[in-house]
A and B are shown apart, each in its own frame.
Chain A
């Protein structure tokens, strides 16, 4: 029983990572007033690019960087479309969805003609001493580099958002762009940067899925986590710190489902019913956390000097 619970909790940490990476980026993006609905597909693209580059070069860092760059590139397309050209952000995001997923699957199918790209997943790093703690060590301190990185970045970007001038500017731009503009802040530059950053983080999340979690690519690899991450952003009330908690809740939801199925606790033709669980959790979260705090005032509203 202890083993089963440990396995669920450790799995929860593993499965929270993708969601956490994406939601950190999207917190920044939405704080600045931009929402990108294409994140699900940017994860997919990042997963493919990361896997492919790592497969070709054998270098995980290079693969991860390539995934980040691909995500940032798609983020740039989104920001050019709706920050610069002021096309409806939501519609633009939905088209980005089709663009990035199309790109990932197209390239994968091209590569597939010659070879099947597979890598071994990154090895776990056992944190000295901490990983020896019974139960807790296994849950928290026996993971690969991506896992630690996600939690580290959540704290770093939390600090940047709340403790630096840049963070203040980002938050202000999403609340009152007119005042920021009057104060000499380049509103759209900050929005471009945040949109690109959010794409980059989704790319990184994809690299984790293919390099740190599965070791392969599949067109459904993102598995709804891009959407869940945007819901976590609301749940976290636009804070990278609370995004940790939100990601863990959903990570646990996925982990419970995975462990029930993997452990054979469920008749196999009922698997899909169990997979609904994280989404039911999402619905409940949406209802419970409605209106607990206000979204950034200028969210989805383009800015230009009238």
Chain B
């Protein structure tokens, strides 16, 4: 048995390696790694506005990580979170754009339902292919991402385009559908509370309810669960639909909380980044809250570093990959060392 603290030991090791890679790269290129490193937390927390931006980034990272992990728990590798996020945002936009005279306490629930359904719809195709035809979900989910991306790109320069701008985007949504801001001076919206609540709900579902128990059982050993009287297909469908729906909600929060219109590429790869977040949070609903926050800090801090010292923000993604790979390797090494 691996003791809990040994899992945590992998984090300082991973962080050390990530910072090492970061520093050596910058040294070789003639930058000052210390000041670059310091500029990351300063950029993420230095001013009230940067804290607001960090929390805004935290929102989609947490949701996409949750979407990925809940499906993974039932052994469904949902690589289509990116596409589900897009279509969730799209469907919610189509509803929201028609809600000009509807009071927001009616409009917003409809918008969230539409977003959830959009994500579900986009996952339904790979899910049906998996459960009815026995097709591995990895490739259909990836292909659906590309289709979603092109659909959004087409709509935002074609049929839904705002004719008064050159940007690939739709007109603004009615203001009554915008998610309320925490403080009118900053962009941070109430979605921040919603995502933490969603994380807690998923924790409760996964660890305190029968359906969560079934999902975990199927993930551990589908064949044994089947023999134990669990309807494996139904469990995979439940987990899959929750996953797609949460991804769709992530799209709603980006469109109605941040942009207030649909714009081409409104997700800069959140769906894929969520996978790394989920891995860093040991695929646990509470763990990913911390992991998503950490990623958000790195990204916003990194963007500020790019503006300041001119170091391309892409180095953050290298750091993150090194960190998570190291964490996974060390954790695996400790498990296997103990068991053999």
State whether the Cβ of B175 lies closer than 8 Å to any Cβ in chain A. no
One digit per residue, 1 when the CB lies within 8 angstroms of any chain A CB and 0 when it does not, for chain B 321-340 equals: 11011001100110010000
Task: Considering the complex, give the chain A residue whose CB is closest to the CB of B306.
Answer: A109
A62 in the interface, Cβ–Cβ < 8 Å?
A: no
The answer for the CA separation of A29 and B200 in the assembled complex, in Å, is 40
**Min CB distance, B273 to chain A, in Å?**
8
Known contacts A109-B314, A273-B150, A273-B154; is-contact A287 B328 (Cβ 8 Å): no
Chain B, residue nearest A219 (CB):
B314
Give the interface centre of B138, B146, B332 by most chain A CB atoms within 10 Å: B146
Are B321's CB and A105's CB within 8 A?
A: no
The minimal Cβ–Cβ distance linking A109 to chain B, given in whole angstroms, is 4
In the complex with contacts A94-B275, A286-B140, A105-B314 CB distance below 8 A: yes
Is the Cβ of A86 less than 8 Å from the Cβ of B332? Answer: yes
For A87, list chain B residues within 8 Å (CB): 325, 328-329, 332
B158 within 8 Å of A (CB atoms): yes
Interface hub of A86, A272, A291 (most chain B Cβ within 10 A):
A272
**CB–CB A230/B147 < 8 A:** no
Segment from B54-62, B129-137, B217-225 that makes contact with A = B129-137
Given contacts A106-B312, A227-B142, contact A286 B328 (CB under 8 A): no
Given A282-B143, A283-B140, are A102 and B318 neighbors across the interface (CB < 8 Å)? yes
Q: Contact at B150–A276, with CB atoms within 8 Å? A: yes
| Binary contact readout A81-118 vs B (1 if CB under 8 angstroms, 0 otherwise) | 10001111011101111110111011001100100000
Contact of A287 with B138 at beta-carbon distance under 8 Å, contacts A81-B325, A270-B154 already known: no
A234 to B140, CA, bound (A): 12
Given contacts A87-B328, A101-B317, contact A224 B333 (CB under 8 A): no
Name the residue on B nearest A96 (C-beta).
Answer: B321
A105 touches B139 (CB 8 A): no
Q: Are B157 and A91 in contact (CB under 8 A)?
A: no
- Decide: A287 and B133 in contact? CB cutoff 8 A: yes
- Give A231 to B143 CA distance when docked, in angstroms: 10
**Nearest residue in B to A269 (C-beta to C-beta)?**
B158
Q: Does B195 contact A (CB under 8 A)?
A: no
Instruction: Point out the residues of chain B lying under 8 angstroms from A291, CB to CB.
Output: 134
- Inter-chain contact count A-B, CB under 8 Å? 124
Cα A234 to Cα B139 in complex, Å, equals: 10
Confirm or deny: B77 has a beta carbon within 8 angstroms of a beta carbon on chain A. Answer: yes
* Closest B residue, CB atoms, query A105: B314
- Would you call B276 an interface residue if the criterion is a C-beta within 8 Å of the partner chain's C-beta atoms? yes
Tell me whether A270 and B158 are in contact (CB under 8 A): yes
Is A280 an interface residue, CB under 8 A from the partner? yes
Partner of A276, one of B147, B279, B325: B147
Range for the number of chain B residues in contact with chain A: 35 or more
Contact indicator B328/A81 (Cβ below 8 Å): yes
Say whether A245 faces chain B, with CB atoms less than 8 Å apart.
Answer: no
Chain A residues whose CB sits within 8 angstroms of the CB of B153 once the complex forms:
272
Measured in the bound complex, the distance between the Cα atoms of B161 and A291 in whole Å is 43
Measured CB to CB, the closest approach of chain A to B10, in angstroms, equals 12
Q: How many residues of A contact B (CB 8 A)?
A: 45
Q: How far is the CA of A77 from the CA of B329 in the complex (A)?
A: 11
Any B CB within 8 A of the CB of A279 = yes
Taken together as a complex, chains A and B put the C-alpha atoms of A94 and B146 apart, in Å, by 16
Q: Is the CB of A227 within 8 A of B328?
A: no
**Is there a chain A Cβ closer than 8 Å to B320's Cβ?**
yes
Q: Which residue of A lies closest to B310 (CB)?
A: A113
B1 interface hit (Cβ, 8 Å): no
Closest Cβ of chain A: how far from B168's Cβ, in Å? 10
A231 to chain B, nearest CB (A): 5
Q: CB-CB < 8 A to B138: which residues of A?
A: 37, 90
Do B312 and A105 touch across chains, with their CB atoms under 8 A apart? yes
Among B25, B147, B325, B333, the residue within 8 A (CB) of A92 is B325
Identify the closest chain B residue to A282 (Cβ).
Answer: B143
| Interface presence of A190 (CB below 8 A) | no
Restricting to B238-287, which residues have a CB under 8 Å from any CB of A?
Answer: 272-273, 275-276, 279
Asked whether A91 and B314 contact (CB < 8 A) given A98-B320, A224-B146, A230-B139, the answer is no
Assess whether B110 is interfacial by the CB under 8 Å rule: no
A69 vs B129: C-alpha distance when bound (angstroms):
38
Min distance, Cβ B218 to any Cβ of chain A, angstroms: 17
CB contacts (< 8 Å) of B312 on chain A: these are 105-106, 109-110
Interface core residue of A97, A99, A109, A270 (most chain B CB under 10 Å): A99
Knowing A81-B328, A90-B138, A231-B139 touch, does A99 contact B322 (C-beta < 8 A)? yes
Q: Which chain A residue has the least Cβ–Cβ distance from B317?
A: A102
Which residues 253-306 of A have a CB within 8 angstroms of B? 269-273, 275-276, 279-280, 282-283, 286-287, 290-291, 304
CB <8 Å contact, B317 and A227: no
Which residues of A, 196-242, contact B by the 8 Å Cβ criterion? 224, 227, 230-231, 234
Contact residues in B for A92 (Cβ distance below 8 Å): 325, 328
A-B contact pairs, 29 of them (CB 8 A): A77-B325, A86-B332, A87-B329, A90-B77, A95-B275, A95-B276, A95-B325, A96-B321, A98-B317, A99-B325, A102-B314, A102-B315, A106-B317, A106-B318, A110-B29, A110-B312, A227-B143, A227-B146, A269-B158, A269-B161, A276-B146, A276-B150, A279-B150, A283-B143, A286-B129, A286-B139, A286-B140, A286-B143, A287-B129
Which residues does A use to contact B, with CB under 8 Å?
37, 77, 81, 85-88, 90-92, 94-99, 101-103, 105-106, 109-110, 113, 224, 227, 230-231, 234, 269-273, 275-276, 279-280, 282-283, 286-287, 290-291, 304
Known: A91-B328, A99-B318, A286-B129. 7 other contacts (CB 8 A): A92-B325, A95-B279, A102-B316, A103-B314, A105-B312, A106-B317, A275-B150
* Top 6 A-B residue pairs of the complex, sorted by shortest distance between their CB atoms: A102-B317, A99-B321, A109-B312, A272-B154, A106-B314, A105-B314
